[in-house]
Amino acid sequence: MTDRFALVALPLPLATPYTYRIPETLGDRVVPGTRAVVPVRRRELIGLVVGIDTEAPNAAVKDILAVPDAEPALSPALLATSQWIAGYYGAPLGLALKAILPGGMWGESEVIVSLQNGAPSLGGVAGDVVSWLEQRGGEAAVHAAARALRRPLWDVIGRLNRVNAVSLRVHAPDTAAARLTERTLTLAGERPTLIERDTLFKRRPKQRQLYETLESLGGSASMRHLSEQLGFGDGVIRALIKQGLARVGQAELVRDPFAGSPVTVPPAELTKNQSTALAALAALEPGQGAVLFGVTGSGKTLVYLEAVRQALAAGRGAIVLVPEIGLTPQTVSRFRGAFGDEIAVLHSGLSDGERADAWRLLRRGERRVAVGARSAVFAPVANLGLLVIDEEHEASYKNGETPRYHTRDVAAVRARLERARLVLGSATPSAETWARTEGKLTLLRLPERIGDRPLPPVEIIDLRTAPKVGGTGPLAWSVALDSAIVATLARKEQALLLLNRRGYAAFLQCPDCGEVWQCPRCSISLTVHQSPPAMRCHYCGHEEPLPLTCRVCANPVQQMRGVGTQQLERMLVERYPEARIARMDLDTTSTKWSHQRILTAVERGEVDLLIGTQMIAKGLDFPNVTLVGVVDADTGLHLPDFRAGERTFQLLAQVAGRAGRGPKGGRVLVQTRNPSHHALLWAARHDTEGFLRQEREIRESPPYPPTTSLVNLVYSGPDEREVGRRAAGLADWCTGLIDRYQLSITVLGPAPCPLVRIKDRWRWHVLLKGPSESLGRLVRYAARRLKRDGKIRLVIDRDPVSLL
């Protein structure tokens, strides 16, 4: 009999999977998608079989050691999806699979062997294994057994497994039961609101830090973790306990932060528009997709819910994707309310082991709906019938590391492979998606808000000429916005104030010599922070104390430019002393579930003014919010990126959509110095289609997506000249290839990236424009030829969402 071989991928950046021999004894179990234990150098790792009966390799190969599962871990459709990702984005297959399969399921995970009831008494090595396991309580890691018995055991254990004397399972390294006995610190008592915290922890910043760390860890953490890894001293821990804010416990439970959250019962009846949209979805050909283009407050969520219900009724499963799960507690609780235990919420707070558990439940069909952010597009929902992408225009749907996949495109591929229906929902669809409604995607509209509520009127305030109130420092504060806030407070209603710039001030400048404080590692100015005070780089996290004098001319007066949310908060506290103010940005929500706390406070009416960055623009549904103020609409308008206008439009339209969702109505005020920018004009008219039409024209020449497709090739490295030289070589290489194969691709560059340095690495890029098919050929070619070498790294970013 001739030898058979299999290709096995590992979660590593290897260009191609490794080949292993399939031992005869495992022949029937090695199929694509199964996990296999394979020797790699001197270790044993769990890999994934991606191909079988491949050609015999030239060199000698090792054997697959074991196949721990009875069923493949990855369905054929998910395996095919990973292959599509690797091919389309020019990524190593191992990394494409790594994006799909949770870390706890392969790589360094262990195989655990357990005795089954009635294990036969055996002689020889098998007998030794059985009695060793009996001594150990019936179960142990295979490698522990092998070490104890001082011999390789895969063979023997494989045989024991085949006669059902033992069972095997793969175990994520972090789910050790031993942690149950650990001492833990758990939050106690009522959670103070943000405002109460300021008093409570006034002179005790360390205690506040501990308190909020505990919150971020789900309300409880092991003492050891707090003291050893996080460096909290005994004193601060004891003080928190003494204040009654925390208590010592025993059991360590990694909590599901959504488990205790309130569920929302959905409205019983669909509106006519919702029914029409739902019927159109049901009429889609399996494998096809639709855009649910519904204005803010039009009830898109209920359409998703009912579509999921129909999929379940047809015996199929569903995936619902949201941009950021921490920001969308309302959507999650609506799904919980509708489907309860059918749902697996995949969120970033899950440990590897919990994620692996959720996977198993979904794979077996014990949970039929997965809700989560980007990576939940890979949830192994059995018999997938529906994929929903809420707020499909969000940039967070693009993965920021290799493989740089876009969730929308992966979802379309998966939907086709599994004959599932795809729904892309948004009030402000992306230009790309909109273009696909001419042919590929069916367009469904929800043109009206629920209950015939009007969209709120939007007033644009030209900061260059509008009357302003005094005493607000560098912050331009129009009389119009000021009186609108005063009136809202008087009526005991709520206002959202959007300022898409966190920190205290965007940068610090010397008024004499003009010097601007830059990050020493990145080509970007440092942001001024006041709570706590520091200069911070928002790219690399570099931090330094606030300077007292200019480092160039020693001038002592430093000027802050570009008001950020912290400064806005300070100003508002002074101007509206009676208002209860909360702030939501990356700095107040760095602990994991802090979004939810702030939003709950708003929902309960404990906050009058909510300040925030783009975080507050998303998906919130608060009927008592009657005013939305955009403090500075221009923060993102002049970024060197062709999507700057689109992003500004989306942000404005989305945040405007938070106003007037209740019977009291609402209004929106937008402060700007660019009142005639098309993004602002169309947003003020709530005219998404008008905006998309004009944006489409703008992107015709010079061509940008959706008129053409893009690939951004970015070289980075520590030496600027070397990086520039390599980028030039890359551009030549591309040009040569394009000539040789007569591809209709334009090469732009090489040029320094707008952010020319990040974390001490210089960055140059070459931008390719052309039809997607031609770019695809070039990407596949480049992925094979262009290897990283030395300290120079190449990133291939196909369909980039940002060119910075």
> Under DSSP, is residue 625 helix (H, G, I), strand (E, B) or coil?
strand
Minimum CB distance to Zn ion, residue 539 (Å): 5
> Under DSSP, is residue 492 helix (H, G, I), strand (E, B) or coil?
coil
CA distances from 144 to 129, 157, 265, 511 (A): 11, 13, 50, 67
For residues 353 and 368, give the distance between their C-alpha atoms in angstroms, rounded to a whole number: 19
Minimum CB distance to ligand ADP, residue 446 (Å): 7
Which residue, 448 or 608, is less far from ligand ADP as judged by CB?
448
Among the residue ranges 186-194, 355-363, 392-400, 512-520, the one whose residues contact Zn ion (CB under 5 A): 512-520
Minimum CB distance to Zn ion, residue 505 (Å): 17
Q: Read off the amino acid at residue 700.
A: E
Classify the phi-psi angles of 665: left when phi > 0, otherwise alpha if psi is within -120 to 50, otherwise beta.
Answer: left
For residues 154 and 310, give the distance between their C-alpha atoms in angstroms, rounded to a whole number: 46
Given the rule CB under 6 A, which residues bind ligand ADP? Answer: 267, 269-271, 274, 294, 296-302, 450, 621
Q: Go through 761-792 and write b for each residue having 16 or more CB atoms within 10 A of its CB, e for each that does not.
A: bbbbbbbbbbeeebbbebbebbbeebeeeeeb
Per-residue x/- marks for Zn ion, 513-552, CB under 5 A? ------x-xx--------------x-xx-x----------
Question: Which of Zn ion, ligand ADP, none interacts with 143 (beta carbon under 5 to 8 A by kind)?
Answer: none
Question: Which of ligand ADP, Zn ion, none interacts with 537 (beta carbon under 5 to 8 A by kind)?
Answer: Zn ion
Q: Which residue has the tokens 């036969």?
A: 120
Which residue, 270 or 537, is less far from ligand ADP as judged by CB?
270
Length of the chain: 804
Question: Which of ligand ADP, Zn ion, none interacts with 519 (beta carbon under 5 to 8 A by kind)?
Answer: Zn ion
For residues 703 and 539, give the distance between their C-alpha atoms in angstroms, rounded to a whole number: 29
Which residue, 300 or 769, is less far from ligand ADP as judged by CB?
300
Question: Which of Zn ion, ligand ADP, none interacts with 540 (beta carbon under 5 to 8 A by kind)?
Answer: Zn ion
Minimum CB distance to ligand ADP, residue 264 (Å): 8
| Phi/psi of residue 495, nearest 5 degrees | -130, 145
Question: Which of ligand ADP, Zn ion, none interacts with 450 (beta carbon under 5 to 8 A by kind)?
Answer: ligand ADP
Which residue, 189 or 541, is less far from Zn ion as judged by CB?
541
Strands 441-446 and 289-294 turn out to be parallel
> Under DSSP, is residue 172 helix (H, G, I), strand (E, B) or coil?
coil
CA-wise closest residue to 67 among 26, 112, 119: 26
Question: Which of Zn ion, ligand ADP, none interacts with 94 (beta carbon under 5 to 8 A by kind)?
Answer: none
Per-residue x/- marks for Zn ion, 462-501, CB under 5 A? ----------------------------------------
Q: What is the dihedral of CA 18, 19, 25, 28, to 10 degrees?
A: 90
Which residue, 301 or 472, is less far from ligand ADP as judged by CB?
301
Question: Which of ligand ADP, Zn ion, none interacts with 271 (beta carbon under 5 to 8 A by kind)?
Answer: ligand ADP
The alpha carbon of 78 is separated from its chain's Cα centroid by a whole number of angstroms, namely 20
**What residues contact 441, with CB distance under 8 A and at least 6 apart?**
288, 289, 290, 291, 424, 433
Minimum CB distance to ligand ADP, residue 650 (Å): 14
Question: Which of ligand ADP, Zn ion, none interacts with 269 (beta carbon under 5 to 8 A by kind)?
Answer: ligand ADP
Minimum CB distance to ligand ADP, residue 586 (Å): 24
Which residue, 296 or 442, is less far from ligand ADP as judged by CB?
296
Minimum CB distance to ligand ADP, residue 339 (Å): 16
Minimum CB distance to ligand ADP, residue 426 (Å): 9
Minimum CB distance to Zn ion, residue 757 (Å): 8
The alpha carbon of 50 is separated from its chain's Cα centroid by a whole number of angstroms, namely 27
> CA angle, 123 as apex, 117 and 129 as ends, to 5°?
60
Question: Which of ligand ADP, Zn ion, none interacts with 300 (beta carbon under 5 to 8 A by kind)?
Answer: ligand ADP
Residues that bind Zn ion (CB under 5 A): 519, 521-522, 537, 539-540, 542
